[in-house]
Amino acid sequence: MNYEQKYLKYKKKYTILLSHQIGGSPIEDANTICQLLFQKVQIDKTISDNEISIHEFNTPWKPYFHKSERSCLPTERLEKCINTLNSDGHSIIHHAFQYGTNKALNLILKTRGLNINLLNGVGRTAIIGAALELDNYLQINSRITDFLLLGGDITIANQININDLNFKEDIFLILNFRINQQQSNALFPPGANPYKPLNINIPEDNKNIGIYSFTLGNVSRSMPLPLEKPIFLK
């Protein structure tokens, strides 16, 4: 074993040990990881020195991931806080779906014990947060797929009241309101619609098949585009 191999072996062992032993409470770690995700801090980097290249995690992420022989894996420290709500009532998985890069999300989804249907402080799942916040429809599509593949339940919803009408706020309603702004604006005072616009590029000939019939597969509900009127769910 040459010097470089010995160095990398020692560095890997030390990094894993350090990440497992040093740290704050689960809430403190949840606060830190949520902030890293919101700021889109890059997870890893490659350091080159002459002919030697070392691939490692960026310092803020080192307590939460380590490299195995074949892949990158979450540490026990991340496992302990993965289902913890932070000081603002959000979780790591909520921030990963809303703000995380694809790489960050994919790594976090490997965490043992992850509750994919975890509710935040206002009763929303991670996929509801993504449907509310993301502005790229293809990215929303991708996040829905990730959510479903891990056993996520897209029917989980909030009960909300708008102008004395009861709604189930799930991803169907959110995307409906965001896409059909003229209709959803009619439900709110001027300028008060909380559902920001979402533009999607669907060929006119395909609008009659329904947005969710091709997005979510065998889902029991389908919303054709454009809708004649908002769908009220009691």
Instruction: Tell me what percent of the residues of the chain surpass a pLDDT of 90.
Output: 38
The residue ranking higher by pLDDT, 204 or 200, is 200
The verdict on 5 and 101 lying in the same domain is: yes
pLDDT for 99-154, tens place per residue?
999 999 999 999 999 999 999 998 999 999 999 999 988 888 889 999 999 999 99
Residue 120 lies in a domain: no
Residues 109 and 151 in one domain: no
- Please, is 159 exposed, middle or buried when counting C-beta atoms within 10 Å of its C-beta (0-12, 13-18, 19+)? exposed
Q: Is residue 225 part of a domain?
A: yes
- For residues 149 and 222, what is the distance between their CA atoms, to the nearest angstrom? 20
Judged against a pLDDT cut of 80, whether residue 56 lies above it is answered with: no
The pair of structure tokens assigned to 51 is: 């002919």
Q: Which residues contact 164 (CB under 8 A, 6 or more apart)?
A: none
Cis peptide before 226 (omega within 30 of 0): yes
Note whether residue 127 is domain-resident: no
Return the pLDDT at 51.
Answer: 65
- pLDDT value of residue 211: 42
- At residue 159, the pLDDT reads 81
Q: How many domains does the chain have?
A: 2
Residues 147 and 98 in one domain: no
92 φ/ψ angles, rounded to the nearest 5 degrees: -60, -40
102 in a domain, yes or no?
Answer: yes
Asked if 233 and 150 sit in the same domain, the reply is: yes
pLDDT greater at residue 156 or residue 16:
156
Pair 108, 151 in one domain: no
- Cα–Cα distance measured from residue 112 to residue 185, given in angstroms and rounded to the nearest whole number: 42
Amino acid at 219: V
Same domain flag for 11 and 99: yes
15 and 103 in a common domain: yes
Q: What's the rounded mean pLDDT across residues 65-70? A: 78
Q: What is the mean pLDDT of residues 68-89?
A: 90
CA distance 176 to 72: 37
Judge if 141 and 86 occupy the same domain.
no
**pLDDT mean over 190-196:** 87
Whether residues 1 and 109 share a domain: the answer is yes
Of the ranges 16-25, 37-46, 108-117, 160-169, which one carries the lowest mean pLDDT score?
A: 16-25
Q: Are residues 106 and 158 in the same domain?
A: no
Domain encompassing residue 50: 1-115
20 and 67: one domain? Answer: yes
Q: Is 223 exposed, middle or buried (0-12, 13-18, 19+ CB in 10 A)?
A: middle
